[in-house]
Structure 1
Amino acid sequence: MNQEASPLLPVATPARTRAAVAELIRPHRSLALTAFAVMVGATAVGLLVQPLLGRIVDLAADRGSADAITKTGALLVAVAVAQGLSTGLGLSLVSRLGETTLARLRERFVERALDLPLERVEKAGSGDLTARVTADVSLIAEAVRNALPELARSLLTIVLTLGALALLDWRFLLAALLAVPVQVATARWYVARAIPLYAEQRAAGSVQQQQLLDTIGGSSTVRAFRLEREHIERVTDRSWSLVGLTMRGVRLVLGFYSRLHIAEYIGLAAVLVAGYWLVHDGSASIGTATAAALYFHSLFGPVNAALVLLDDAQSATAGLARLVGVTDEPAPPRPVRPVVPSTAEVTVRGVGHAYRTGHPILHDIDLTIRHGERVALVGASGAGKTTLARLVAGIQPPTTGTVLVGGVPPTELGQSAAGRTVALITQETHVFAGPLADDLRLARPDATDDELRSALDRVEALAWAEALPDGLDTVVGDGGHRLSGAQTQALALARLILADPPLVILDEATAEAGSAGARALEKAVGRAVDGRTALIVAHRLSQAATADRVVVMDAGRVVETGTHDELRAAQGPYAALWKAWSDTRDTTGTDTSDVARDPG
C-alpha cells in the first residue's frame, strides 16, 4: 500500500542536513570551542583514576607503606571532585550550545512554515506539518538535552582512553583495538538500516496523523454518510503500518546490542591476555596490567553509550532532515516595490484553475466587482465558489487568466500591502490562546481598548464580551474560556473592522452559527463589510438577497449575474435555488438549508 496519500513536504539530504547544522553553529564557534576544551580537560582528569588504582595495586603487591596508599587514595578523591566539577561545567556549555542552536532552528522553521504557500500545505496535508512541528521538534529537543551532551562526553572518553592505553604500552592499545572492527561493522550495519527506517517511520507517522485529523475533523460528515467503518479501516491500516515499522526498529536494536556484546568480549579477552603476557615477561607491573584492564573495562560504558546513542541520533537526524527540508524551501517572491492598490475594484478575466492537471475546477471566468460593491457568490456544492474566492484573495495564482485587485495581481502584493488591502474570513476561524483583547489586537496591535470595544459593538459582540469573567482580559482559546461558533465568527468580524481592509472576502463566514444566531451574525456581517468591496460566498441565500449583485456559478462557470430581484424574475438557476431554499426554510422553520454550500 502506498502510504503517502498526498505529496508530503520535502526532506533534506544528509549532506544538506549536516551543512544546515554547521550554519546554525557557526555564529557560536567560541562557545563550541570552550565547551570542547572543558570537556577534554574533564575527560583527561578522569583518566587519572585507573593509573592511581594500578598504583595502589602495585603498592599492595610490594607491601608499600600505608602513607603512600593513603596519599594515592587522597589523589583519587581529588581527581573525582575535579572531574565532577569540570564535567558539569562542560555538559552545561554543550547543552547551552545545543539549546541555542535548536532555538534558532525552531525560529527558521516557523518563519518558513508561515511563508509556505497555503496551496502547498493543503496538498501535503496539515498532518505532515503538524508532525514536524510537534513530534520531530520534540525528538530533536530530547536529543539536544540528553543525547548530544552524553555523546560528546562518550566520544572524548573513548579517544582519550585509547591514548592512555597507548601510554601504558602500545601492545595494550593493539589488543583493545581488536574489538574495533566488530564495533565498526556493527555501527555501519545499524546506520545503513536505521536511517531509511526512521525516515520511513516519520513519514508513516505524518500519514497516520493526517488520517486521524481528517477522520476526527470531519466526524460529522463521516457519520452523515455512514462512512465510520471505512474511516476506521483507514486509521487501522495506517496505524498497523506504523506498528510494523516500529517492530522492525525493535528487531534492529536487538541485533545491534547482540553484536556489541561480542565486541566487548573479544576486546576484554585480548587485553587480559596481553596483560598476562607482559607481566610474565616483566614488561609491565601488575598495577599497569590492572590499569589497562580497567581502562578497557571503562570503555564499555562510553562505547556502548556512543553506539546506543546512534539510535537516538538517527531518529533525531531523520526529524532534523524533515525540519531542514522545510527551512530550505524557497521563500515566495517579494515585490521589489510593494504597492498598495488605490482602489479595491476586482477584475477577473478568462480565469481557469485546476488543482490537478487535467481536472479543471474553473472555466473561463469573467467578473468585475466595482469598488464598494457587495457581490454574493451562490451555486450548488462543488460549483467552484470557494476556489474563485481563494484566487481573488491571492491565496494562489490562477492556472490561466488574470485576477487583479486595483490593477495589481493579489499574489504579487507584498505581505504588508496584502494585509492592508484584502482580508479573507472563512468558517474555520481560529481563537488564539490568551486574553480576548490580545486576540483582537492581532488585527491591529496599536488598537486602544476603546477601539476594541467599538469594533465589538459594531458586530453586536460587546455585550457578551464584557459579560465574560474578566471582560476583555478573559483568557480564551485552548485552556481558557471556550467561545461558541457564533462568538468565534463575531470575533473574526471584529478583527476585520480593526484591520480595515478595503476588500473583504467572506467564505461561508456564518456557516458555524446555529439558526438562532444566524440572523444576528448576518447583520454583523453587513455592518463589518459596510463601505468595503465585498465578495461573499453565500451559505444562506438570505445573504444573497441583501447583496448589490448575485453571481450564480455552476460546474466552474458563471451562469447568471444580476440583482436578487432580477434573477428571481428571470426564472433561471438562481430562482430554482431560491425556491428550494425557501421551501426548506418554510418546512423546517429555519434557514439552515445547505443548498449553497461549497466544500471546495
Structure 2
Amino acid sequence: MTETLLPTATGGEARSAAWTALRRVRGHVALTLLVLTVGTVIGLVGPWLLGRIVDLVIDGRTDELLPVVLGLIGVAIGQAIGQTVGTAMVAHVGQTVIAGVREKAIRQVLRVSEGRIERAGSGDVMSRVSGDVETVNEAVSGVLPTLLDAALTIVLTAVTLAILDWRFALAGLAAVPFQVVATRWYLRNAVPVIRAERVAEGSRAQQLLDSINGANTVRALRLESDHLAKVTAASDKARQLSIRMAAVQRRFFGKLNYGEFVGLALILVVGFYLVRGDLVTIGAASAAALYFHRLFDQFNVVLGTFDTAQSATAAFARLIGVAEMATPDLRDGGETDSRSGRGTDGSVSLRDVRFSYGADQHTVIDGVDLDVQDGEHVAVVGTSGAGKTTLVKLVAGLLPPEQGQIVLGGHDLAAGASGSGHRCVLVSQEVHVFADTVLGNLRLSGEHTSETQARSALDAVGASGWLSTLPDGLDTVLGRGGHSLTPTQSQQLALARLVLADPPIAILDEATADAGSAGAKTLEAAAEKAIAGRTAFIVAHRLTQAARADRVILLEDGRIVESGTHDELVDANGSRYAQLWAAWSTHR
C-alpha cells in the first residue's frame, strides 16, 4: 500500500518549506523570540536571588531579606507574563503557518487526478489533512513553545554558570556525553517506529473508511467477519507500534537519569571545593546547583518531547509532500471573451486514447479517436460499463490517459501549464451541497460572484422559483444543519455553478439521473440553458437528451462503435443505437 500513497517530503524539503513559510511572517517571529528571551532572562534571576538569600542568612543580615523576597515575587510574575505571552505568540505564528500549509495541501489534493487519489486511498488523504494537521497543531500549540523556551533557557543558563565560575560550567558539561549517547540511541530506535506508526495509522484509516463506506455491500455479501478481521489487523499493527514506542521512551528517560546524577554530583563537588577555597560564596554554589538542576530539567523537556516533535515532523513532512507535489497548472490560456475571461476555443480532440484502472485491470477506454468542434453538443451513450463516465473524466482531466493525446482548445492536457485548465467543468450525478449559504455555494465557481450574477445564474437554470421561497434568499444556509434541497434543486444549484464558471467545455455526467419524471424535464431544460453556447458532452441517462444533441456516439467495451446524429443512427439498418432508442421509447 505504501507504494501507492501520496508523496512524503524529505527532511530537507520539509525544512525548506518551513523556512519559506516562516520568512513570510518573519516580523512576528522576531517579536515572538524577543518576548520569549525577555521572559527567560527574567526567570534566570530567580536562582541568583535564592543564592543571595542563602548568603544573607549565613551572614546574619536578615533585615535585608525583604527586598530580595519582593524581587523573587517580581521575577515569578514577570516570568509568568513573559512565558504566557510568548507561548500565545508562538501558537499564533505556528497556527498561521500551518493553516497556510493545510490550505495548500487541500488545494493540491483537489488538483490531483481522480485515479491518483483512488490509488492512494481516501484514508491516506484524510489522515494527512486531518490527523497529520492535528498532530502538527498540537505540537505548535504545546510542544513548540516549550522547546523554544527550553532552548533559550539552556543557552542562557550555561552562560550564567560560566559567569558564576567557569568550573561550574565545566562540571555541568560532564552530563553531555550521557545525553549524546541517550539521544543517539533514541534516534536509532524511535524514528523508524514513529514513521511506521504514522503509516500504520493511515492504513487503519483507509481500512475503516473502506469498510464503513461499503457497509451495505459488505453486509449483502456477508463479508462482515472478513472486514472486521482487516480492521482488527490494521488497528493491532498501529497498537503494537504505539506500545513499542512507549517502551522506547521508558528506556530513553532511564538513560537520561545517569547524566543528571553525574552532572549534579560534580556541580556539588566543585561547589564544595570552591567555597572551601573562598573562591565563591555558599549562595553562589547553591545558585549553581539550582541553575544546573534547572538546566537539566530543560534538557529533559527537550528530549522528553522529542517523540512528539518527531511525530509532528513526520506529519509535517507528509503534509508538505502533498502541498508540494506536482499537479497540473489550472491557469487559463488562449484567447478570451468579454464575459469571463475564459478561452473561446472549445474544440476537443482525442487521439488513440487508452485507459485502465491499474496495470493488471481490464482496459476501460481502448483506442478512442474523436474530434469535437467548438460549440458542438455530443451525447455519449452505451450500456452500463461501456466506459462512458471514464471517457468524460479523461476529457475533464480527472483521469490521466495511459496512452494517446487529449487536446482541449488547442492545448494538450498532458502539458499541464499550457493553459488547458479551467477549460472544462464536469457536473456529475452526485452533487454536494456545502454547509454554507446559497451564495457561498455559488461562489465556489468564483469568490467574487455578486448577488446579481448569482440570481441571474439561478434564473438561467430555472431555480428562481424555489429561491424566492427560501427564508433568507441567497443568505439561506444550506447543507447539514441548514435548509435541505431536493435532488432537483441541488442539481440546479450545480448547473448554476456551471453557468457562473462559464467554461468553453461542459460535461454533464448523468446530471438528471436522480430526478423523477417531473424533475427530469425541469433539469433537462436547465441543462440545455446551462450548456448553450458551449461545447458539451452529455452522458445521457435519458435518450431524449441524446435526441437533442448535435451528435451521438455509442460506446461499447471502451470503443466508439457508432457515431452520427440521432436521426442518422435511428434510420440506420441494424444500428445498436436504434435498438436502444426503440427499447427506451417503449418503456419510458
TM-score category (smaller protein): 0.7 to 0.9
Within-5 A mapping of 1:92-107 = 92-107=88-103
In 2, Cα distance between equivalents of 1:325 and 1:200: 17
Within-5 A mapping of 1:9-408 = 9-62=6-59, 64-280=60-276, 283-330=279-326, 332=328, 338-339=334-335, 342-357=344-359, 360-396=363-399, 398-408=401-411
Indicate conservation of the 8 Å contact 1:396/1:411, yes or no: no
Which position in structure 1 is the counterpart of 2:554? 552
Secondary structure of the corresponding residue to residue 385 of structure 2: coil
Q: CA deviation at 1:559?
A: 1.9
In 1, Cα distance between equivalents of 2:222 and 2:515: 24
Normalization by structure 2: what TM-score? Answer: 0.86
In 2, Cα distance between equivalents of 1:25 and 1:449: 37
When residues 416 and 159 of structure 1 are mapped into structure 2, their CA distance, relative to the original with a 3 A threshold, is same
Which position in structure 2 is the counterpart of 1:529? 531
Secondary structure of the corresponding residue to residue 322 of structure 1: helix
Deviates more, 1:455-464 or 1:238-247: 455-464
Query: CA-to-partner distance for each residue in 1:273-318, whole Å, 9 max, x for gaps?
Result: 4444544555544323322222222234322211122122111111
Q: CA deviation at 1:10?
A: 1.3
Secondary structure of the corresponding residue to residue 512 of structure 2: coil
Deviates more, 1:506-515 or 1:488-497: 506-515
Secondary structure of the corresponding residue to residue 476 of structure 1: coil
Which position in structure 2 is the counterpart of 1:596? none
In 2, Cα distance between equivalents of 1:12 and 1:326: 8
Q: What amino acid does structure 2 have at the position aligned with 1:80?
A: A
In 2, Cα distance between equivalents of 1:253 and 1:580: 70
In 2, Cα distance between equivalents of 1:123 and 1:90: 44
Q: What amino acid does structure 1 have at the position aligned with 2:13?
A: R
When residues 54 and 561 of structure 1 are mapped into structure 2, their CA distance, relative to the original with a 3 A threshold, is same
Indicate conservation of the 8 Å contact 2:425/2:506, yes or no: yes
Q: CA deviation at 1:347?
A: 3.1
- Are 1:7 and 2:4 matched, yes or no? yes
Q: CA deviation at 1:133?
A: 1.9
Indicate conservation of the 8 Å contact 2:203/2:234, yes or no: yes
Indicate conservation of the 8 Å contact 1:95/1:145, yes or no: yes
When residues 212 and 150 of structure 1 are mapped into structure 2, their CA distance, relative to the original with a 3 A threshold, is same
Instruction: Provide structure 2 residue ranges, at least 5 long, that are not aligned to the other structure.
Output: 337-342
Cα root mean square deviation, aligned:
3.4
Q: CA deviation at 1:223?
A: 4.4
Q: What amino acid does structure 2 have at the position aligned with 1:491?
A: L
Q: CA deviation at 1:331?
A: 5.1
Q: CA deviation at 1:435?
A: 1.1
When residues 503 and 304 of structure 1 are mapped into structure 2, their CA distance, relative to the original with a 3 A threshold, is same
When residues 84 and 472 of structure 1 are mapped into structure 2, their CA distance, relative to the original with a 3 A threshold, is closer
Indicate conservation of the 8 Å contact 2:330/2:420, yes or no: no
In 1, Cα distance between equivalents of 2:344 and 2:58: 97
Deviates more, 1:261-270 or 1:567-576: 567-576
Deviates more, 1:36-45 or 1:499-508: 36-45
Q: What amino acid does structure 2 have at the position aligned with 1:14?
A: G
Secondary structure of the corresponding residue to residue 429 of structure 1: coil
Query: CA-to-partner distance for each residue in 1:11-33, whole Å, 9 max, x for gaps?
Result: 11112222222222234445444
Q: CA deviation at 1:430?
A: 2.6
Deviates more, 1:425-434 or 1:392-401: 392-401
Indicate conservation of the 8 Å contact 1:338/1:417, yes or no: no
Indicate conservation of the 8 Å contact 2:331/2:420, yes or no: no
When residues 176 and 443 of structure 1 are mapped into structure 2, their CA distance, relative to the original with a 3 A threshold, is closer
In 2, Cα distance between equivalents of 1:250 and 1:577: 65
Selected match of 1:504 from 503, 506, 510:
506
Indicate conservation of the 8 Å contact 1:393/1:410, yes or no: no
Indicate conservation of the 8 Å contact 1:338/1:414, yes or no: no
Which position in structure 2 is the counterpart of 1:483? 485
When residues 455 and 328 of structure 1 are mapped into structure 2, their CA distance, relative to the original with a 3 A threshold, is closer
When residues 568 and 312 of structure 1 are mapped into structure 2, their CA distance, relative to the original with a 3 A threshold, is same
Secondary structure of the corresponding residue to residue 477 of structure 1: coil
Q: CA deviation at 1:143?
A: 1.6
Q: What amino acid does structure 1 have at the position aligned with 2:55?
A: D
Deviates more, 1:154-163 or 1:76-85: 76-85
Q: CA deviation at 1:321?
A: 0.9
Q: CA deviation at 1:330?
A: 3.5
Deviates more, 1:78-87 or 1:300-309: 78-87
Q: CA deviation at 1:456?
A: 2.9
When residues 59 and 349 of structure 1 are mapped into structure 2, their CA distance, relative to the original with a 3 A threshold, is closer
In 1, Cα distance between equivalents of 2:581 and 2:232: 43
Secondary structure of the corresponding residue to residue 8 of structure 2: coil
When residues 251 and 374 of structure 1 are mapped into structure 2, their CA distance, relative to the original with a 3 A threshold, is same
Indicate conservation of the 8 Å contact 2:332/2:421, yes or no: no
Deviates more, 1:93-102 or 1:305-314: 93-102
When residues 17 and 182 of structure 1 are mapped into structure 2, their CA distance, relative to the original with a 3 A threshold, is same
In 2, Cα distance between equivalents of 1:303 and 1:448: 57
Instruction: Provide structure 1 residue ranges, at least 5 long, that are not aligned to the other structure.
Output: 592-600
Q: CA deviation at 1:441?
A: 3.5
Indicate conservation of the 8 Å contact 1:339/1:417, yes or no: no
Q: CA deviation at 1:104?
A: 4.1
When residues 527 and 233 of structure 1 are mapped into structure 2, their CA distance, relative to the original with a 3 A threshold, is farther
Number of matched pairs = 580
Which position in structure 1 is the counterpart of 2:435? 433
Indicate conservation of the 8 Å contact 1:202/1:319, yes or no: yes
Q: CA deviation at 1:473?
A: 1.5
Deviates more, 1:574-583 or 1:33-42: 574-583
Indicate conservation of the 8 Å contact 1:545/1:564, yes or no: yes
Q: CA deviation at 1:112?
A: 3.9
Which position in structure 2 is the counterpart of 1:595? none
In 2, Cα distance between equivalents of 1:565 and 1:224: 43
Q: What amino acid does structure 1 have at the position aligned with 2:56?
A: L
Q: What amino acid does structure 2 have at the position aligned with 1:437?
A: L
Q: CA deviation at 1:389?
A: 0.8
Q: CA deviation at 1:475?
A: 0.8
In 1, Cα distance between equivalents of 2:32 and 2:533: 62
Q: What amino acid does structure 2 have at the position aligned with 1:471?
A: G
Which position in structure 1 is the counterpart of 2:340? none
Indicate conservation of the 8 Å contact 2:349/2:407, yes or no: yes
When residues 460 and 31 of structure 1 are mapped into structure 2, their CA distance, relative to the original with a 3 A threshold, is closer
Query: CA-to-partner distance for each residue in 1:132-169, whole Å, 9 max, x for gaps?
Result: 22222222222222211111111221222233333333
When residues 521 and 238 of structure 1 are mapped into structure 2, their CA distance, relative to the original with a 3 A threshold, is farther
In 1, Cα distance between equivalents of 2:239 and 2:585: 52
Aligned residues with identical type, % of pairs: 45
Indicate conservation of the 8 Å contact 1:195/1:318, yes or no: no
When residues 385 and 39 of structure 1 are mapped into structure 2, their CA distance, relative to the original with a 3 A threshold, is same
When residues 529 and 31 of structure 1 are mapped into structure 2, their CA distance, relative to the original with a 3 A threshold, is closer
Indicate conservation of the 8 Å contact 2:508/2:539, yes or no: yes
Q: What amino acid does structure 1 have at the position aligned with 2:183?
A: A
Query: CA-to-partner distance for each residue in 1:319-348, whole Å, 9 max, x for gaps?
Result: 111122223323535789534554434333
